[in-house]
Amino acid sequence: MKYTIEMSNKLNDLLERTYDAEKGFKQVAEKVNNTIIKEFFQKRAQQRYDFGHELKAEIKAFGQEPEKGGSLKGKLHRTWIDFKSLFNNENEEAMLEEVKCGEEEAIETYNDILHDKEFVLPPSTESLLMRQRNAIRETLKTADLYENAVS
């Protein structure tokens, strides 16, 4: 029982981050003018929405209830993006930099769960988390390419 509750708590923390990322990508998509970068952000928001549903299903498989909203930290990060965009003419570059910071933190969170020695993840959970983490790595690489292109 302890395993199930602790693992679902970790997955719920990850789910909150996923909600935060989805909201953040939607927010930055509204703030950029470059149509290619806007589309990139919109697709990432949809990806995180999909990730959220996958994580919810996994949490339910542990017999637990998924979280329903984002975190205070995520809200503060989005407020910072709003504030920063008011004073920055290089909008796309600043937003891409913020996205990269968020993606690096997300990868760390996934790695923390995947490398936690206290738990042996079920193969379905491990596979899901590895697939999502690798997709976030690709997002990070693409954001870096776009940032270099607009700088």
The domain of 76 spans 2-150
Q: What is the pLDDT of residue 15?
A: 93
Q: What is the pLDDT of residue 126?
A: 95
Task: Give the chain's domain count.
Answer: 1
Cα distances (angstroms) measured from residue 58 to each of 25, 100, 130, 140: 23, 27, 14, 25
Q: What is the pLDDT of residue 68?
A: 77
The overall pTM is greater than 0.95: no
| Top-ranked range on mean pLDDT: pick from 11-15, 62-66, 130-134 | 130-134
Q: State the angle between helix axes of 35-61 and 91-114 in degrees (0 to 180), rounded to the nearest 10.
A: 20
Structure tokens of 41?
């952000």
Q: What's 137's domain CATH number?
A: 1.20.1260.10
The answer to whether residue 73 scores a pLDDT higher than 60 is no
